[in-house]
């Protein structure tokens, strides 16, 4: 039975954690709705997630909460494929146009694209 919990250890908590991701972006992936920055720890630690949702893009608190919950839920179900990575997800203006299920599909696709890029990075580094 796989563990799909989402504890505090899997969140980026301090400003130091956020800074390390922002200063050393190894992989960048985005759509019109969101932007994902990835820091590669290159080990088997649990993946960690941080969210940056600007009031400018999503004005109502209800929309911001929905955006964060959807991404957390998707992260929770995909975490075992994402080990060793730290993520920062930022909202973009287009986030308002998607409803919950549609946003979830977009996020799921983004994880797959990041994994592909990571594999390519490792290949170039090894060669």
What's the rounded Cα separation, in Å, for the pair 1 and 42?
25
Residue from 22, 31, 68, 84 in contact with RNA (CB under 7 A): 68
User: Which CB sits closer to RNA, 61 or 123?
Assistant: 61
Does 45 participate in binding RNA (rule CB under 7 A)? no
What's the rounded Cα separation, in Å, for the pair 74 and 78?
6
Does 35 participate in binding RNA (rule CB under 7 A)? no
Does 124 participate in binding RNA (rule CB under 7 A)? no
Residues 1-30 that bind RNA (CB under 7 A): 3-9, 11-15, 18
Q: How far is the CB of 44 from RNA (least distance, A)?
A: 17
User: Which CB sits closer to RNA, 62 or 123?
Assistant: 62
Residues that bind RNA (CB under 7 A): 3-9, 11-15, 18, 50-53, 59-63, 65, 68-70, 72-73, 76, 100-101, 104
């Amino acid at each position: 039975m796989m563990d799909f919990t989402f504890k505090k250890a899997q969140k980026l908590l301090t400003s130091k954690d956020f800074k390390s991701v922002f200063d050393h972006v190894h992989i960048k992936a985005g759509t019109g709705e969101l932007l994902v920055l990835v820091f590669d720890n290159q080990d088997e630690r649990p993946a960690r997630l941080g969210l940056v949702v600007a009031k400018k893009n999503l004005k109502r608190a209800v929309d911001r909460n929905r955006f964060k919950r959807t991404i957390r839920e998707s992260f929770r179900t995909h975490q075992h494929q994402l080990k060793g990575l730290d993520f920062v997800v930022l909202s973009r203006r287009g986030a308002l146009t998607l409803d919950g299920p549609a946003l979830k599909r977009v996020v799921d696709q983004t994880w797959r694209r990041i994994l592909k890029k990571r594999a390519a990075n490792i290949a170039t580094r090894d060669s």
